[in-house]
Amino acid sequence: MMTLHLALKPSRVISPSRIWLGATRFNVQGCKGFGTTHIQRSGKIPFQHTELSTKARKLVESKISLDGKVTVITGGSRGIGLELAKTAAALGSDIAILDVREPDESIAQLQEAYGSRFVFHQMDVTSMDGMEAAFDKVVQKLGKINNCVTCAGIALDKPFLEHTWDESRRILDINILGSFFSAQLAARQMIKQGDGGSIVMIASIAAHCAIPAQRVSIYGASKGAIKLLGKTLAVEMAPFNVRVNTISPGFIETKMSAQFEDIQEVFRSVPPMRRIGQAEDLALATAYLLGNGASYTTGADIAVTGGLHNGRIEL
Ligand SMILES: NC(=O)c1ccc[n+]([C@@H]2O[C@H](COP(=O)([O-])OP(=O)(O)OC[C@H]3O[C@@H](n4cnc5c(N)ncnc54)[C@H](O)[C@@H]3O)[C@@H](O)[C@H]2O)c1
């Protein structure tokens, strides 16, 4: 039996569904324990906490900690964005949620639960003026921007032959231009501050392949653009130590995926891992990309799809 638990910042919680007050716990399958590192093999003395293991643990903690950082999350009012906001807060970051809609959870309660500063500004990613004003307000209120997660997005499931100009234009405006200019505003502020930063753009499995049972051609095109932007911006921003990476979620259980009522069974059965993903399945991929541990990672895409982006053996 092996136990590996990293005690990060006391009194942080990583998810409301798992209230771990006292310490943030990362469970490794088949492991148990708390706050210490134990490796037990049959017939052997349990692994003792040593000076070296304490040092090593502190090193890992420092690489994942977001203490003292400010993270902006577009589309952070619900679903994946809200979960990633909580993840960053659990790791010590102050949080700015920028979204066209009010958050599903109270900002005051989030602040109290996570012990980080949370602010919300209403912002529509299709308005450049509105975005500039919102990013300015973040800097006024929280002092700086170190990380940005571009999560605001909409989907359209419709046959290619029936897509209209206006609805297709709207997908591209929100998903591509909204993410592109959010990243630009964040990068400008990071460059002004002079100490780099991390931008994580949320793409999709639709950027990798056609999605079983969904007709999301223009949505897929918009997410393909995000995946490529992750690479081109990574190269252009590298001299400023601003890292840009993307995450491609598979089917994730949120209000967005819930609107596709007739294919819920597909979401649950077609991924090779045989389940729909949860927003928290994206948490540690995001934490990695935001943290100093990823200081040499830029232009990467992490596909969190239950294996679906690789294909399927069965129908
Ligand atoms: N849920 C999935 O299965 C899935 C899979 C792959 C990728 N994604 C992507 O993840 C991201 C989040 O998806 P979700 O499932 O949490 O969806 P969601 O609908 O629950 O959340 C999307 C958020 O974006 C905000 N938003 C929409 N239009 C906006 C605008 N014009 N300006 C500002 N904010 C706006 C919404 O208000 C909402 O809070 C999206 O980019 C989506 O494309 C989701």
Judge contact between 198 and 218, C-beta under 8 A. Answer: no
pLDDT of residue 20: 33
Q: What are phi and psi of 232, to 5 degrees?
A: -70, -40
Domains (range + CATH), the chain: 1-64 (no CATH), 67-310 (3.40.50.720)
Ligand 1 atom nearest the C-alpha of 155 is 43
Give the nearest ligand 1 atom to 206 CA.
Answer: 6
Least confident span in 13-17, 150-154, 240-244, 246-250: 13-17
Quote the distance between the C-alpha of residue 98 and its chain's center.
14
Out of 44-53, 153-162, 267-276, 289-298, least confident range: 44-53
**Cα 286 from Cα 13, distance rounded (Å):** 16
Q: Is 226 in the pocket of ligand 1 (CB under 6 A)?
A: no
Cα within 13 Å of Cα(138), Cβ side: 32
4/272 Cα distance (integer angstroms): 27
- The rounded mean pLDDT for the chain is 89
| Nearest one of 77, 181, 175, 66 to 119, comparing CA atoms | 77
Q: Which of 83, 151, 219, 278 to mutate to test the pocket of ligand 1 (most atoms within 8 A of CB)?
A: 151
CB of 179 within 6 A of ligand 1: the answer is no
Is residue 66 a contact partner of residue 91, using CB atoms and an 8 Å limit?
Answer: yes
SS3 74: strand
Judge whether residue 16 has pLDDT over 80.
Answer: no
pLDDT at 205: 97
- Residue 292: both structure tokens together: 């100093």
What average pLDDT score do residues 146-171 get? 98
Read off the pLDDT of each residue in 99-107 and give the average, rounded to a whole number.
Answer: 98
| Ligand 1: centre distance to CA 46 (Å) | 46
Do 230 and 301 contact (CB within 8 A), yes or no?
Answer: yes
Q: Is 204 a catalytic residue?
A: yes
Do residues 96 and 133 lie in contact, with contact meaning Cβ atoms separated by under 8 Å? Answer: no
Residues 301-315 pLDDT 10s: 999 999 999 998 887
Q: Is the CB of 122 under 6 A from ligand 1?
A: no
pLDDT interval class at 211 (50, 70, 90)? confident
Percent pLDDT > 70 in the chain is: 86
Asked whether the predicted pLDDT for residue 69 surpasses 70, the reply is yes
Is residue 120 lining ligand 1, measured as CB closer than 6 Å?
no
State the catalytic residue, choosing from 65, 114, 219, 222: 219
What size, in residues, is the chain?
315
Residue 11 is among the residues annotated as catalytic for this protein: no
pLDDT recorded at residue 47 = 81
Q: What is the mean pLDDT of residues 32-49?
A: 58
**pLDDT exceeds cutoff 60 at 176:** yes
Ligand 1 contact via 249 beta carbon (within 6 Å)? yes
pLDDT band of residue 42 (cuts 50, 70, 90) is: low
Specify the pairing of strand 2-4 against strand 37-39: antiparallel
202 lines ligand 1 (CB under 6 A): yes
The structure tokens 């109290």 sit at: 112
